[in-house]
Structure 1
Amino acid sequence: MHWASRLAALVLAAALGCSAFAQGAGGTAAGAPEPTVAELRNRLDRIPSAVDTNAEVADQIAQINAIAAQADKFVASRTGRLNDLNARLGELGNPPPAGTAPEDPDITRQRAALQKERNALDADIRLARLITVDAQQRGSEMIAKRRQLFEAQLTERAPSPLGRQFWFEIADAWPEDVDRLAGLRDEIVAGVDAAADPAHRVSVLVSLGAALLLALLGNWAAEYGLVRLAARVLPPGRLRRSLLVIAVVAVNVLLVALAAHGVFSTLDRHGILGPQIRKLGQAVVQSIIFIAFVVALGRALLSIRRPSWRLPPIPDGMARRLAPFPWLTAVIAVLVWVPSQVNAIVDASFAAVVATHVVTALALTALIGTMLLRLHEPAGGAAAVATAADGTQPPAEPERPLWVSFLLSAVALAVVVIWVLVGLGYVALASFLANQLTWTGIVASAFYLLFKFADDLFMATVSSKSNFGQKLQKSFGFAPRTLDQAAVALSGLARVALFFYMLIALATPLGTGPDEVFQRSGQFGTGLKVGEFTLVPGAIFAAVAVLATGFLALRVFKKWLELRYLPQTALEPGMQSSITTLLGYVGGVVVIAIALSALGIGIERIAWVASALSVGIGFGLQAIVQNFISGLILLAERPVKVGDWVVLGTAEGDVRRINVRATEIQLADRSTLIVPNSEFITKTVRNMTLANAEGRVLIRLPMPLTTDARRARELMLAACADHAGVLEAPAPSVSLEGIENGMLILQAIAFVQSPRLAGGVRSDLLFDILDRFKEAALPLASPVTVVSQTEGVVPPPPPASPLPV
């Protein structure tokens, strides 16, 4: 098991910022000459294809990766020169055809020299790229062989620790293992003596002191400063809590890694480390980083001192019971890992390797079993029982969810299975399962933190309740529900991406390390073919980004047109609204087409899908398509526009909005009538404000035959002239329509700015006219018959058929 290497893979995949501490494969030394293509090919061909142990496979994979990296570097360093040569040849042009005037000999020689250099450089680049492809294939073969070797070792049965043969083999191999450890012991003693030498003592002590101060005092100061900074800079909420936890974990690991690497570099620089001690020192450095990561992660998630900052829903009593386990997990994992490294360094016996597997399986399962027992203890343990004996009720912990109970039962069952495997002699498989079980808990804890952070980040920045979300509402006019939906969608997308990397860290094949984790991640990133369509994760995120950016830019442009540009033109408000709506439809189609292109779906695929759906569109979606086309015609021809007063059958009201499928009409009672767009195209519609937006007020008053008609006419004209809502042009008029049933019929006609004002103006004029007649002692006929009409200038058409429901 490679704890520190897996830790590096997890931290890099989870973006915790600690990948710099992973030990990379060797490359070209600084200052060394760059190898040629022939040298790289020879080095790749000299790597043997037959391997016997996992160590040989790991070494060959490191060599193959180094050769591939150097080949990529070779191609990158010469691609620019090749582009320059192609550009210069393009400037010189092609040689003149035969039979034409010859060109300058200097140009011919220059073209030949450039062509020769260009062909040689292009050939080297092609060969280097071929080396990269061959190296990748060889690497995949080596990984497959490594997996086969590891699986064979897992299924191999060793003597059971419950039998005598297990202990007899350890006793027989003990003298040889002690002799093998003697060389390592001698190197350690020699290293200690060299470190105690006056020439190195001061540097070693200073580096040790600085490392302790950085790891202990530095971590305390950094954590205290982060807490103060978060409380001062970040607003209260979940984002501050999760971001602080990530910052504390990252800073702790960073400081401890710097301290450990500093001590290792000092010892290595002074020549204190021997060959075996150097390998063991690298393992110790990685172990220290692993301890720092696990302890910082556990402390941050449990938050014993700050319960309000705790991310998981763990009661205080349970958190206190689990407080020692981050330390125990890190220490036990390192204690069972270091012996395996020592076995590899000194080439220990098979009995020692089997014993290491047994200790690893038993120690890790004992740790997991103890943790399960602590989870089932009552709140407060013995103290709670004593408190209950005194007559007080201890605080009850919340009921555990059902899925948590199932999960704990599965872990307990796995522990029992591992013990059975150890008893049967399958110690390698038992050790691997124990390692994977522990590693799964660490990975799940780390990604739980990242899941929480992703959710808190988008909820605190995009949702309608956040400050940034409120600014988006004011700037772009987003609805609160739209922002909340966007926050949930972005959070879900981020969690899916994190879940993918978590599966890469958990579900890698048996016997793989971080190199294959990243290789599998890269292969998945290049595309997953489903049928004839290649699904690329990067393309999915690019398409989502194009959609978000495109619709945001479209909304900004529409807002600019609506508020800044169109009001400065001579266009009517209805025409401005039509232009904005039509632009929204066209822009939306363009943005979706670009997003589909980013996803890898070309226009020809969209046309194929559209042709496949043509039959369904022709039958099932005929009405929808008809209304959509009618909506486009309404926006283009503008027989009806936003703000018009229309009469459609028995319905009459203002056009408020023209949508893709239907038009919204606000009636006089403030209700909204939804009318399909096709109704405006296929049926008779009376537009009261199409050609002339003025409204007409018509009042007919019956008066006795003895009435002074001229005086009555003057009073009615004066009432119309005194009203502020009556237009001066066309001027109001009063005419004598005739005699009906022995009464004079006087008719007054006045014009107002809009038909919507006609009703109110008519009422005001009637009140005023009646008052004036009363003052002038002009009697009205009894009973009085008042006929009034409010309409547009265009005479009303015959009644249309009622609207279909």
Structure 2
Amino acid sequence: MNPISCCRTALLLAVLMLAPAFAQEPATSASTPTLATQAPTDTGIAELRGRFTRLPSTAENNDDLRILLAQINAIAAQTDAFITSRTASLADLNARLGELGAVPTLPGAEDPSITRQRVALTKQRNALDSDIRLAKLLAIDAQQRSSDLLTQRRKLFEAKLTERAHSPLGRAFWSDIGDAWDDDRDRLSDLGTEFRNGMAVVRQPQNLPTVLVSIGAALLLALLGNWLAEIGLARLAARLLPPGRLRRSLLVIAIVGTNVLLVGVAAQWLLSALDAQGAWGPLTRKVAQALVASSIFIAFVVGLGRALLSISRPSWRLPPIPNALAKRLAPFPWLIALVGAAVWAPAQINAVVDASDAAVLATHVFTALSLTALISTIVMRLGMSGPSAPAAAETPAADAGAPASDAADAAPMPARAVWVGLLLSTVMVVVVVIWVLVAIGYVAMASFLATQLNWGGIVLAAFYVLFKFADDLFAAIVSSKSGVGMRLQRSFGFAPQTLDQAAVVLSGLSRVALFFYMVIALWAPLGTSPGEVFQRSGQFGSGFKIGEFELVPGAIFSGVAVAMGGLIALRVLMRWLSRSYLPSTALEPGMQSSITTLLGYVGGVLVVAFSLSALGIGVNRIAWVASALSVGIGFGLQAIVQNFISGLILLAERPVKVGDWVVLGTSEGDVRRINVRATEIQLGDRSTLIVPNSEFITKIVRNMTLANAEGRVLIRLPMPLSTDAMKVRSLMLAACNTHATVLPEPAPTVTLEGVEGGALIFQAIAFVPSPRLAGGVRSDLMFEILDALRTADLPLSVPTMVVAPGALAPTVIPAETPPLPVQT
């Protein structure tokens, strides 16, 4: 599976994770308007504004708030459709006006028909532009009104949570239920009558076969389809995906997504089939739609739990859970889903039939006690898996398609972590608090805490999968050991450490984004719809200020994306220049290296500027930061700035370039690299000398290869006065001319400098292609000349031993022959 499919699957799971919130949304009352969402998209902006103005700005209860929010959202959707359709028409009018050209300055210079057409098009364009502006203003007003209503709804919800009712341990609580029983039974009887009428319609001979076929097909799709899909996905993952953790996390996402998809399709199919037979009335249709959402919730929880525990494939298990513990936890995904559906059903029925307050309070008590009983059972079962649990180290056997690394990852934990024990203890404390709240009469608060505790566990489990998937995805496609990473190294020349760091950074950014949505999902109450969750995330996504700076999550990700894309493009450009374009030019290698380095600096500055612009940091703020940095530069960064400017001067003027042989003080060597702060010089002993760039600008530097790349070999020999000078000259010239490295032009020369200390001084000068060859050639010529002089019986002059007067020991004084000169 390619990375795009992986990202789509992760997004699908993130969206489906919010399905339980939709499942918990109480059904709206019968007065909920249905025509608001079915209005045509070509409604005029004046009509939309009028409908919006007539809506009240507040509501008295939660049901009225929900109806009002639905109406406002419908108006906002129609406004967005109006803007989209009119924007295309406006672009067409602008294009047609552009084809007519500019308005001529001279009167009468244009054909009257073209003038009339221009006037008509301009009038249409202005009217359309005005409508679009009004529509955008209406969209902003609708969004603001929706946010205000959500705030009001949240306040009503919080006020309702703090209400205290009669304790279930007292007689008044049960007396209220008894007093309201007759009214609630009458409301339930209407729902029951409508349901029986629908079943009577279904049992009619002409409808029964179709309904039975639909039920059978839905069951086959939901049960057999899920079983076959799970087996097929496991085999495909083992066959198509490379070994590693990615295929395990991807398999979990695929299984959960497939379960939710198949169950949702089956439930919706059955709902539509029964609706086509006329089985639903106004009340039963709402219950049936809620049942569809409940089935999606059950499929999500069961699929997520079974995929995480992976009882049949222990080596594919994503979390490090011992096999024995996984088997003990196997029934709980079903229990969580069934208990959640069981506590949700009374709340939905209460909303549909408009039950009494006593029935609502009884539902709260039932919800709190049922969920806390389930949670305490899970905590007790997990508590049995501590270090003292017997045989908790049962090693799962590796499956046929699982790699050895997966089997090693599935190995059991030797002991329970400390944070796990603290978390379980905290959960039990919350459970006890819920029981106390139920006992003293705060049943709404107790029910809310119980549902949020259950909801929090589901959200954490879902985002655990997403966190693991993000880590595994970037480790598989970016790290240096992955196939994609190796291709990036070969194609773009990225270092392995760079790719590994990029994988860690991308994984961290994805975790931050997922953590943001996880906090939003955890903070939202269980009765919150997915639209409100996304709207809350949109409020945070619009940005928040910290002092004078405004942080926008979308802008941060845009800036990071621009920086990554810019650096990759810069690397590709520099690689193309250094390997393809510049070698084809007549520029020498040193100039090519200088051009590449300069372009790298300029490109890096541009990438940083574009990234800051994507972050929303303007030029004025960059100037402010630069002025603040100038203070630090004035105190402690002079040397760094001086070396940086010196490096730019070296790259621009090129008094010293890569490949030159320079002498700086007592050190000499080849220039290997000119960096932004210092220059690297390789010495004769293969060590590297790091020289600040300012040394090349402010001090005397000898560049042996700046104007002339040839090297000179100088040999001075002292000979006795009785030596045959012409013979010595011919021998030395023959040695120089026969050496393969000595250049024929300029030709070697041998001169007689004079007489020093009673000896003739012969000087030979030869030229070689490079100064780096001078030392080796001089040594070869010395060997050849000395051997030729010895063969010709021409001895060198020998120093004379002279005893200085008054000296305690004899001193060697070069009375006749000076020492051999040093090669320059």
- 1:370 matched to 2:377: yes
CA distance in 2 between counterparts of 1:371 and 1:114 reads 71
Conservation of the 8 A alpha-carbon contact between 1:146 and 1:511: no
Conservation of the 8 A alpha-carbon contact between 2:22 and 2:529: no
**Aligned counterpart for 1:279 among listed residues 253, 265, 286:** 286
The one-letter amino acid of 1:455's match is D
Partner of 1:745: 761
CA distance in 1 between counterparts of 2:432 and 2:39 reads 56
**Aligned counterpart for 1:154 among listed residues 161, 184, 192:** 161
CA distance in 1 between counterparts of 2:425 and 2:111 reads 88
Partner of 1:473: 489
- 1:255 matched to 2:270: no
Conservation of the 8 A alpha-carbon contact between 2:387 and 2:415: no
In structure 2, list runs of 5 or more residues that go unmatched. Answer: 1-9, 26-32, 395-410, 800-816
- Quote how far apart the aligned CAs of 1:541 are: 1.1
- 1:144 matched to 2:151: yes
Alpha carbons of structure 1 residues 630 and 179: separation in structure 2 relative to 1, 3 Å:
same
- 1:73 matched to 2:81: yes
CA distance in 1 between counterparts of 2:104 and 2:566 reads 50
Partner of 2:315: 308
Conservation of the 8 A alpha-carbon contact between 1:699 and 1:786: no
**Aligned counterpart for 2:234 among listed residues 227, 239, 256:** 227
User: TM-score scaled to structure 2, two decimals?
Assistant: 0.88
Conservation of the 8 A alpha-carbon contact between 1:627 and 1:661: yes
Partner of 2:777: 761
Partner of 2:656: 640
Conservation of the 8 A alpha-carbon contact between 1:26 and 1:63: no
- 1:14 matched to 2:1: no
1:626-675 C-alpha deviation (Å, 9 max, x unpaired): 11111111111111111111111112111111111111111122221111
**Aligned counterpart for 1:588 among listed residues 590, 597, 604:** 604
Q: After alignment, is 556-565 or 772-781 more displaced?
A: 772-781
Alpha carbons of structure 1 residues 640 and 331: separation in structure 2 relative to 1, 3 Å:
same
1:459-502 C-alpha deviation (Å, 9 max, x unpaired): 11111111211221222222211111111111111111111111
Q: After alignment, is 654-663 or 161-170 more displaced?
A: 161-170
Partner of 2:243: 236
Partner of 2:814: none
**Aligned counterpart for 1:734 among listed residues 743, 746, 750:** 750
Partner of 2:458: 442
Partner of 2:619: 603
Q: State the SS of the aligned residue for 2:714.
A: strand
Conservation of the 8 A alpha-carbon contact between 2:17 and 2:300: no
Partner of 1:701: 717
Alpha carbons of structure 1 residues 464 and 93: separation in structure 2 relative to 1, 3 Å:
closer
Structure 2 counterparts to residues 193-204 of structure 1, below 5 A: 193-204=200-211
Partner of 1:787: 820
- 1:44 matched to 2:52: yes
**Aligned counterpart for 1:717 among listed residues 712, 715, 733:** 733
Partner of 2:803: none
User: TM-score scaled to structure 1, two decimals?
Assistant: 0.90
**Aligned counterpart for 2:508 among listed residues 475, 492, 510:** 492
Partner of 1:614: 630
Partner of 2:421: 405
- Quote how far apart the aligned CAs of 1:732 are: 1.7
- Quote how far apart the aligned CAs of 1:41 are: 2.9
Alpha carbons of structure 1 residues 732 and 274: separation in structure 2 relative to 1, 3 Å:
same
- 1:575 matched to 2:591: yes
Alpha carbons of structure 1 residues 117 and 748: separation in structure 2 relative to 1, 3 Å:
closer
Alpha carbons of structure 1 residues 709 and 108: separation in structure 2 relative to 1, 3 Å:
closer
- Quote how far apart the aligned CAs of 1:560 are: 1.1
CA distance in 2 between counterparts of 1:270 and 1:419 reads 46
- Quote how far apart the aligned CAs of 1:109 are: 4.7
Alpha carbons of structure 1 residues 362 and 634: separation in structure 2 relative to 1, 3 Å:
same
- Quote how far apart the aligned CAs of 1:331 are: 0.8
Partner of 1:62: 70
Conservation of the 8 A alpha-carbon contact between 1:16 and 1:246: no
1:235-290 C-alpha deviation (Å, 9 max, x unpaired): 11111211121111111111111111111111112211111111111111111111
Q: After alignment, is 737-746 or 531-540 more displaced?
A: 737-746
Alpha carbons of structure 1 residues 693 and 600: separation in structure 2 relative to 1, 3 Å:
same
Q: State the SS of the aligned residue for 1:198.
A: coil
Q: State the SS of the aligned residue for 1:613.
A: helix
- Quote how far apart the aligned CAs of 1:533 are: 2.8
Conservation of the 8 A alpha-carbon contact between 1:160 and 1:166: yes
The one-letter amino acid of 1:264's match is L
Q: State the SS of the aligned residue for 2:558.
A: helix
Q: CA RMSD in A?
A: 2.8
- Quote how far apart the aligned CAs of 1:71 are: 1.4
Q: State the SS of the aligned residue for 2:206.
A: helix
Structure 2 counterparts to residues 554-573 of structure 1, below 5 A: 554-573=570-589
How many residue pairs get matched? Answer: 773
Q: After alignment, is 495-504 or 665-674 more displaced?
A: 665-674
Alpha carbons of structure 1 residues 713 and 73: separation in structure 2 relative to 1, 3 Å:
same
Alpha carbons of structure 1 residues 465 and 383: separation in structure 2 relative to 1, 3 Å:
closer
Partner of 2:437: 421
- Quote how far apart the aligned CAs of 1:72 are: 1.5
Alpha carbons of structure 1 residues 210 and 72: separation in structure 2 relative to 1, 3 Å:
same
CA distance in 1 between counterparts of 2:190 and 2:388 reads 49
- Quote how far apart the aligned CAs of 1:91 are: 5.7
Conservation of the 8 A alpha-carbon contact between 2:18 and 2:530: no
Alpha carbons of structure 1 residues 309 and 786: separation in structure 2 relative to 1, 3 Å:
farther
- Quote how far apart the aligned CAs of 1:583 are: 0.8
Alpha carbons of structure 1 residues 583 and 715: separation in structure 2 relative to 1, 3 Å:
same
Alpha carbons of structure 1 residues 126 and 560: separation in structure 2 relative to 1, 3 Å:
closer
- 1:214 matched to 2:221: yes
- Quote how far apart the aligned CAs of 1:179 are: 2.0
**Aligned counterpart for 1:129 among listed residues 129, 136, 145:** 136
CA distance in 1 between counterparts of 2:758 and 2:11 reads 102
CA distance in 2 between counterparts of 1:480 and 1:466 reads 10
Alpha carbons of structure 1 residues 214 and 161: separation in structure 2 relative to 1, 3 Å:
same
Structure 2 counterparts to residues 16-35 of structure 1, below 5 A: 34-35=42-43
CA distance in 1 between counterparts of 2:162 and 2:415 reads 41
Q: State the SS of the aligned residue for 1:739.
A: strand
The one-letter amino acid of 1:35's match is T
Conservation of the 8 A alpha-carbon contact between 2:643 and 2:693: yes
- 1:773 matched to 2:806: no
Conservation of the 8 A alpha-carbon contact between 2:322 and 2:412: no
Structure 2 counterparts to residues 336-415 of structure 1, below 5 A: 336-378=343-385, 398-415=414-431
Structure 2 counterparts to residues 620-659 of structure 1, below 5 A: 620-659=636-675
Q: Identity over the aligned pairs, expressed in percent? A: 67
Partner of 1:797: none
Conservation of the 8 A alpha-carbon contact between 1:12 and 1:19: no
Q: After alignment, is 249-258 or 721-730 more displaced?
A: 721-730
Conservation of the 8 A alpha-carbon contact between 2:298 and 2:338: yes
Q: State the SS of the aligned residue for 1:35.
A: coil
Conservation of the 8 A alpha-carbon contact between 2:22 and 2:527: no
Q: After alignment, is 338-347 or 715-724 more displaced?
A: 715-724
Conservation of the 8 A alpha-carbon contact between 1:653 and 1:667: yes
The one-letter amino acid of 1:40's match is L
Q: State the SS of the aligned residue for 2:480.
A: coil
Partner of 2:405: none
In structure 1, list runs of 5 or more residues that go unmatched. Answer: 1-9, 388-394, 792-805
- Quote how far apart the aligned CAs of 1:396 are: 8.8
